[in-house]
Structure 1
Amino acid sequence: MAVSQIAVAVKEKVAEVIVESAPEIAAIAEIDWDRKPVVIVGTGLAGYHLAREFRKQDSETPLIMLTADDGRFYSKPMISTAFAKAKQPDQLANSTAADMAEELQADIRIFSKVTEIDPELQVLKVGEDTIEYGKLVLASGAKCIEAPLTGDGLSRVYSVNDLLGYTRFRTAMVGKKKILIIGAGLIGSEYANDMIQSGFMIDVVEPMPNVLGTLLPEQAAHAVQESLEQAGVQYHFGTVVERVDKSGNGIKATLANGSVIEADAVLSAIGVRPDLTLASLSKLDTNRGILTDRSLQTSAKNIYALGDCAEVDGNLLFYVAPLMESARVLSKVLSDQQAQVHYGVMPVMVKTTLCPVVVSPPPRDAEGEWHVNDDGYNVLARYITSEGRLLGFALTGDATREKDALTAKTQPLMS
């Protein structure tokens, strides 16, 4: 068994990310405390997978991991399917921080927030504690974009970006029936799909004219939308939520178009953006994310970034496959080996199980157009340049069976 396997499978219209537990890691040698440690900030999928890969390369260098939460190891993509599977938060966690510390022979410090980073002295501070590092990795992920709302009901607006957030949301949903979701992008669509199948009544407000508007061509988006509408999801396109006020034990949401929606609670799911807090502390170069080269090196010596916070050679990708590739490369770089990321074609499984979706988005600012075969529920769309090069594809329903064939023909993200 590999150190960490993340497999994506579509079975009976169910797409899920599976994280294997109890990986086989070679016996850990005695830690050499005369060496400066590798410090990883973040214990999400990026941080822990990097740590596992690093221990395959180096079993002696001290490893310190810092996290602002409880450090449990879990697969974040599983959260947006957890309601329909009746999964409690503890059932989503594969290991505790103590389990991971033992496995990795690492010093894992939970509920620890980095307050200062000095790239010249190669030290960082956590509260009053000062930690000297040999190499520092920022794996701080992304944070939810906050909807610009007013009103006295904001305490009843929730967002979910981690297991603690899911725990708060799931607890608050006990006894609730009607939920307003803000956003019909990837996150909002997955939650609408999940919660409508769990017995909730769902309204979705989205400023764009269709679901998954930044990922899919119109015909594919309509296939997803119609499937969710048939299940009971109510959409409100071309407008935004402006106010959320308390209404009894629930809320009253006022939309920009004047409409009012009554619900028990609100889930804000308008997307995420890289968390650049640590980059600001260490004065790193940033754009949309923390800028790195293909070796995950930032603008500061011995500081690296990976995962949702990292913009790797111009690519900012909030998906599992690039994260895994980056972790494998960075584990070698941290062990003083030469290695570079080479992103290939990495299709994304959108977990709208009522209408399965596979999409390989074309590169940012790519020049081309969608060529679509539309069979209603089953849509096969290819993004092709004027020279005939295939740069991406979008598949729904039974057309998802063409994923492997189209992957083989699509141009890689990096040459």
Structure 2
Amino acid sequence: MYLGCIGDDFTGSSDLGNTLVKQGMRTVQYVGVPQGPADPAVEAGVVALKSRSIPASEAVRLSLAALDWLRDQGCTQFLFKYCSTFDSTSEGNIGPVAEALAEALGAESVIFCPAFPATGRTIYQGHLFVGDHLLSESGMQHHPLTPMTDPDLRRVLAAQIGGAVGHVPAATVWQGPEAIRAALAAEAQAGRRFVIADAIRDEDLLSWGRALAGQRLITGGSGIALGLPGNFPLSGQAGAWTGQGGRVVALSGSCSTATRRQVAAHDGPKREVTAEEALAGLAPEDLADWALAQDGLPLIYSSADPETVAAAQKAHGREKVAAALEGLFGATARVLAARGIRRLISAGGETSGAVVEALAPDALEIGPEIDPGVPVMRAGDMVLALKSGNFGAEDFFAKAARVMEQDQ
């Protein structure tokens, strides 16, 4: 294994695995830290954690455990993967985890690059854009768990770490890998070990990839992995894929603008779950009964608008509402699987994390791409589509069901 990756949620980890497979790297996504050794044929290992919004100390502990396992597999370079919208709070967990990994690896210079141009995430002058809007005006300012109200990644990161934050601007990136390496060295010499990396185009990410050959630690979104596989002697055997037929059910707990549009556009049967129902103990068996009684592609969702979410959080508490909904979706996925469903679609990072934890696979095989950043994945005879809330076209649910059936 050459490249060891640590993801802070399950959808982001599958997004990263998708990028690496498309670049020809044989990749496996592991659910939590594995207990035994990896298959020697694996070239990139992605350890998926559910650590984005847990206490920072616990996120650090889990991430260091993942690092230890990846080092034992022989990895020479490590990537800490977080969301392309830099989802975090003022306390972390991006900064604390990155600091702990950097100390463990002795990394003198570490970039932070959540850019993913294919989905509209770009970084210019240290500011994160989503499409043509600043992060703080993209809808992420209403995220129920990690609202992002500042688009300046230097300020966001500086609030989470000890020390100053550096920056390599786009004008330097456009000069190529040598200029990037010189800029990183200058930032490190000035005492700025952690550096925000501008990137607007895929070409910029490829330049970053070449410049980062030999770097021990890299952090960012899946886009930063575009240029990394070319630095390793790969087998060229990224793996084949066999589709899966049968009934399919979609679960959506994301309140992002993109997912709410997808829910509204879905023309199959829909069942909304409110926070009050989840808190009152709505039975997952009842939701499974409803889904199995429907024709077509049934969708169970709790993707409410920001005002509804805020009202529920104010009445019952943010953590309590989130835990109730995640627990309900995870339990529903488990019941559906027990009743023979072998294709599940999940929208939202926290929801997908709950679904994967409930199904408890050891590892996930990366399959074909549905939309940018979202692949189909297989765990034995179960096929999953785990979508970050902000990703996917309006017809995502129907498209995912089609792609799940296709061979590659």
TM-score of the superposition, structure 1-length normalised?
Answer: 0.28
Task: Determine which structure has more spread, i.e. the larger CA radius of gyration.
Answer: 1
**More helix by percentage:** 2
Comparing both chains, which one has the higher relative contact order based on Cα–Cα distances under 8 Å and sequence gaps of 6 or more?
A: 2
